[in-house]
Amino acid sequence: MKKVKIGIIGVGNMGSSHYQNILDGRVPEIEVVAVADINPDRLTWAKETLLKKRESNPVLCDMATFSDASEMLTSGLLDAVLIAVPHYDHPRYAIEAFRAGLHVMCEKPAGVYTLQVKDMIKEADKHPDLKFGMMFNQRTNCVYRKMKEIVASGELGEIKRTSWIITNWYRPQAYYDSGAWRATWSGEGGGVLLNQCPHNLDLWQWICGMPKKVYTKMHFGKWHDIEVEDDVTTYVEYENGATGTFITTTGDTPGTNRFEVVCDGGTLICDGGSLILKKLATPESEFTKVNKIPFGSPAFETIKVETDGMNEQHIGVLKAFAGAILRGEDMVADGREGLFGLTLSNAMHLSAWCKEEIDLPFDEAGFKALLMEKVKTSRRKENISSVLSDLEGTYNA
């Protein structure tokens, strides 16, 4: 079997998970031929893990280790790279990889601010023969795929309202204390929106489309001793007049994950992993024109929507990535689509900082300037200079 030779940049939390999945044979068309990490302990862990796996699977390929990711990208060992490093560096390494002739799979979020992601997309567009994927593993979830299918089909008519309460991201203070980079402007570039919610923001726009206006109230360090947001309430307006809300926090427990899409012909409700459709017998826009009863309402049927039950998550994304490279098959998410959810989170931050409604597209340069001002006073001092160097055009070097 022909396999994609991949290198992983960053074998921390997510990178090590991908590494284990591939070594376990769960992505049969990909093999790890190299890993890179600035932490020597993580490289030692990667080597030791490979040796243990070889005891039961001696045909596993040799693997090189690098303390410098750029050296790995130009080593000639790779067909592709998986980027699993802190958020600010996603575009940097993706651009380097494209210039080295490598296919790219990038962990979420695409970056911290839209201008750097647009630089990444611009470089990707220069290499149309190279595949560019984003690790939006929640798009493999059968429930969200079915919601997308139903809304896109038009069978329920136009969207009237969207609502996502996603508060089951509870994190205690010990979580934030576990790493100096966590929940800092210079380390992560944001809080719950940049760390926990990129998947939700992606799914929200993937299923419902992008809004035209965003208004957000945001609290910074409300529930934790952190400098970034941990409590967010957003209101949006869409081009067709529909409205929406997005509420999230890392301070609620037990939390809620309820996503509703109200359409002219019925309402989709995703709650607790199941999908319910309350389908109107008559679309609301038609019913209200002919109904003569003051408190009348159209009849509806409650349907538990059937799905294919498949939810391969990260493994599914990597399988599709390999299929795209080897056979030209579709990926779960093109890397360029990472811009949309990030646009939403950037607009939310900008709205909260400026205390005003934000029109999309927004002032991206203005957002970046405000973000960098916060980076300058961030608690994580050791990362400030490297983040601010981007102001000199690092990504276009």
What share of the chain has pLDDT > 70, as a percent?
Answer: 98
For residue 275, the model assigns a pLDDT of 98
Does 231 have pLDDT greater than 60?
yes
The CA–CA distances, whole Å, from 239 to 168, 206, 210, 392 equal 30, 15, 9, 36
Gap between the Cα atoms of 321 and 76, Å rounded: 20
Give the mean pLDDT of 380-391: 74
Q: How confident is the model at residue 397 (pLDDT cuts 50, 70, 90)?
A: very low
Q: Answer yes or no: are the C-beta atoms of 21 and 84 closer than 8 Å.
A: no
**Cross-strand bridge partners of residue 269:** 260, 276
| 295-352: pLDDT as tens digits | 999 999 999 999 999 999 999 999 999 999 999 999 999 999 999 999 999 999 999 9
For residue 55, the model assigns a pLDDT of 92
Please state, as a whole number, how many other Cβ atoms lie within 10 Å of the Cβ of residue 294.
5
For residue 384, the model assigns a pLDDT of 78
Let me know the angle formed at the C-alpha of 84 by 78 and 90, rounded to the nearest 5 degrees: 90
Domain ranges of the chain: 4-138+313-333
**Cross-strand bridge partners of residue 244:** 162, 236
Does 228 have pLDDT greater than 70?
yes
Is CATH 3.40.50.620 the classification given to domain 4-138+313-333? no
Q: pTM of the full predicted structure?
A: 0.96
Give the mean pLDDT of 141-145: 98
Does 385 have pLDDT greater than 80?
no
Q: How confident is the model at residue 367 (pLDDT cuts 50, 70, 90)?
A: very high
Cα-trace Rg, the chain: 22
For residue 391, the model assigns a pLDDT of 52
Q: Answer yes or no: are the C-beta atoms of 329 and 320 closer than 8 Å.
A: yes
Q: In this structure, which amino acid lies at residue 38?
A: I
Gap between the Cα atoms of 138 and 257, Å rounded: 14
For residue 345, the model assigns a pLDDT of 98
Mode of pairing for the β-strands spanning 64-66 and 30-36: parallel
Q: How confident is the model at residue 381 (pLDDT cuts 50, 70, 90)?
A: confident
Gap between the Cα atoms of 196 and 213, Å rounded: 23
Gap between the Cα atoms of 59 and 67, Å rounded: 25
| 37-87: pLDDT as tens digits | 999 999 999 999 999 999 999 989 999 999 999 999 999 999 999 999 999
For residue 181, the model assigns a pLDDT of 86
Does 387 have pLDDT greater than 80?
yes
Total residue length of the chain: 397
Q: How confident is the model at residue 273 (pLDDT cuts 50, 70, 90)?
A: confident
For residue 392, the model assigns a pLDDT of 52
Pick the closest to residue 202 from 286, 117, 103, 134 (CA basis): 134
Strands, E, within 250-299: which ranges? 257-263, 266-271, 274-280
Give the mean pLDDT of 86-115: 98
Q: What tokens does 21 get?
A: 């999945």
Place of tokens 């019925």: 266
Give the mean pLDDT of 208-237: 98
Does 103 have pLDDT greater than 70?
yes
